[in-house]
């Protein structure tokens, strides 16, 4: 296979952007595509796959290139010469012949092959930072080695059937007619798994809103909230709306979903996606401060808290995260998650339900958060069910969800404030008077199709 120098040179530049300038991989890839808009689909695939493979196996490839372990994480030690070495190791280990480029003149294939046979520590072989391996080992104990072994396996692409427009069997047939082969995933009634790599976002069926790209584990979260048509639902960390769309379908477009987030651009994307998917019951609202939440106290039958997390359950799709995360960041997230759980639980009406969810595998972000919440709110809240989706057992992304029920009987002070505030929430939603409400118009007009990340089917879930 003859590889054009221009593509490999761009791979080297993009890896420099990612590891030295600390750019996110998807942004670096997107930027490169903009600069090379004449590249065909084969070139783009070669480029993107190489970049992601190097990011995924960075530490291992660094070792295979004969570079000192530890330097892989030091920006001052990562220059073009080292990156060419890493790329060469990736190319050779994927069974391809090195091209005759000047930059590769000093690289000996037999040295790479010899280093491949040397036994190294699991964090080098699985390409993880030491601190992350230690933390996961400490928190997950005996379960960690099996999970660690799955985190670098390429993720399959799963589709979620949009049941507002079609059903799974018809979607499978339609995709088959369009030349795309899929298989139904039995335990998850909406899921199809792609049998080959395609740019799914370019498919006509995607543009028609017949499906969304969503990992199999993620497809289990919205049903876990037990919504019904006609309910008032709040998706409080809605992001670009992966779960909002699913909730809208489960509610058969009846009732109301308030999709909240702290980023307007994500909510704008959510609106576009609702337009494409035909979800009419979702409204967006930007969270601008604690008032946005207090105003909605006691409002919802169901609340989904798909909180910001480390994304350690979706490393296969977003390998970048392991190089960008830090212990400090995880600890900051844990504080934020508990704060969201504590404050936003007030949105649920007495007798209503809440789901706390993450795409993390760490108990400190998952069950320990729920236990901590229950330790102080146990008089009002009961844990109904937990979903612990272990990637080593399912073969899908790692997810966690806990469903909590708010008791009908509330502590006296809370009951008074909930009834006063829920009245004000109703009036806020009924009258479109405030500035916040102008932004809050029901989603109706489909806007042009949104641009999607190139790789990583469900990026918004791991944000």
Ligand X SMILES: C[S@@+](CC[C@H](N)C(=O)[O-])C[C@H]1O[C@@H](n2cnc3c(N)ncnc32)[C@H](O)[C@@H]1O
State the residues that interact with ligand X by CB under 6 A: 236-243, 260-263, 266, 287, 306, 308, 340, 460-461, 463
43: annotated binding-site residue?
A: no
Q: How far apart, in whole angstroms, are the C-alpha atoms of residue 247 and residue 249?
A: 5
Q: Among residues 261 and 397, whose Cβ is nearest to ligand X?
A: 261
Q: Among residues 86 and 361, whose Cβ is nearest to ligand X?
A: 361
Nearest distance, CB of residue 145 and ligand X, angstroms: 27
Q: Among residues 192 and 287, whose Cβ is nearest to ligand X?
A: 287
Nearest distance, CB of residue 462 and ligand X, angstroms: 7
Candidates 237, 274, 309, 359; catalytic one: 359
130: annotated binding-site residue?
A: no
Note whether 425 and 295 are within 8 A (CB). yes
Nearest distance, CB of residue 92 and ligand X, angstroms: 37
Q: Active-site residue 359, yes or no?
A: yes
Query: Which two structure tokens, joined as six digits, stand for 326?
Result: 């830090």
Nearest distance, CB of residue 241 and ligand X, angstroms: 6
Q: Residues 6 or more apart from 69 whose CB is under 8 A from it?
A: 59, 62, 63, 124
Q: Among residues 61 and 233, whose Cβ is nearest to ligand X?
A: 233
Nearest distance, CB of residue 219 and ligand X, angstroms: 10
Q: Among residues 115 and 343, whose Cβ is nearest to ligand X?
A: 343
Q: Among residues 13 and 263, whose Cβ is nearest to ligand X?
A: 263
Nearest distance, CB of residue 409 and ligand X, angstroms: 28
Residues at the annotated binding site? Answer: 261, 306
Give the residue numbers annotated as catalytic, written as ranges.
359
Residues at the annotated binding site for S-adenosyl-L-methionine? Answer: 261, 306
């Amino acid at each position: 296979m003859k590889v054009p120098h221009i593509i490999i040179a761009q791979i080297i530049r993009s890896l420099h952007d990612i590891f030295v300038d600390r750019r996110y991989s998807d942004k670096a890839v997107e930027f490169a595509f903009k600069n090379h808009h004449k590249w065909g689909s084969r070139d783009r695939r070669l480029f993107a796959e190489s970049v992601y493979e190097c990011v995924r196996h960075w530490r291992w490839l660094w070792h295979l290139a004969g570079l000192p372990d530890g330097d892989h994480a030091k920006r001052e030690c990562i220059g073009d010469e080292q990156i060419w070495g890493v790329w060469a190791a990736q190319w050779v280990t994927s069974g391809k012949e090195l091209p005759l480029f000047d930059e590769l003149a000093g690289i000996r294939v037999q040295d790479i092959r010899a280093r491949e046979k040397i036994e190294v520590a699991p964090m080098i072989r699985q390409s993880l930072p030491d601190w992350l391996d230690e933390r996961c080992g400490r928190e997950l104990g005996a379960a960690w080695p099996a999970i660690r072994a799955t985190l670098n396996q390429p993720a399959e692409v799963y589709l979620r059937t949009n049941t507002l427009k079609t059903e799974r069997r018809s979607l499978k047939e339609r995709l088959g007619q369009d030349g795309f082969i899929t298989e139904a995933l039995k335990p998850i009634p909406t899921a199809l798994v792609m049998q080959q790599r395609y740019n799914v976002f370019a498919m006509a069926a995607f543009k028609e809103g017949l499906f969304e790209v969503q990992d199999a584990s993620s497809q289990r979260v919205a049903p876990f909230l037990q919504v019904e048509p006609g309910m008032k639902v709040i998706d409080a960390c809605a992001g670009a709306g992966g779960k909002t769309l699913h909730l809208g379908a489960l509610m058969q477009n009846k009732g109301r979903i308030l999709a909240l987030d702290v980023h307007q651009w994500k909510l704008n994307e959510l609106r576009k996606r609702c337009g494409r998917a035909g979800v009419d019951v979702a409204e967006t609202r930007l969270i601008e401060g604690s008032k946005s939440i207090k105003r909605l106290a006691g409002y919802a039958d169901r609340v989904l808290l798909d909180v910001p997390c480390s994304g350690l359950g979706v490393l296969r799709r977003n390998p970048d995260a392991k190089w960008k995360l830090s212990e400090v960041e995880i600890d900051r997230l844990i504080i934020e998650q508990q704060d969201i759980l504590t404050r936003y639980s007030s949105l649920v009406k007495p007798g209503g339900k809440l789901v706390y969810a993450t795409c993390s595998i760490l108990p400190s972000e998952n069950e320990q958060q729920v236990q901590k919440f229950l330790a102080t709110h146990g008089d009002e809240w009961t844990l109904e069910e937990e979903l612990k989706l272990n990637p080593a057992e399912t073969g899908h992304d790692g997810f966690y969800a806990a469903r909590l029920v708010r008791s009908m009987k509330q502590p006296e002070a809370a009951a008074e404030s909930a009834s006063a505030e829920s009245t004000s929430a109703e009036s806020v939603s009924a009258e479109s008077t405030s500035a916040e409400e102008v932004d809050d118009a029901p989603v109706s007009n489909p806007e042009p199709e949104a641009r999607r990340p190139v790789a990583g089917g469900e990026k918004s879930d791991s944000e």
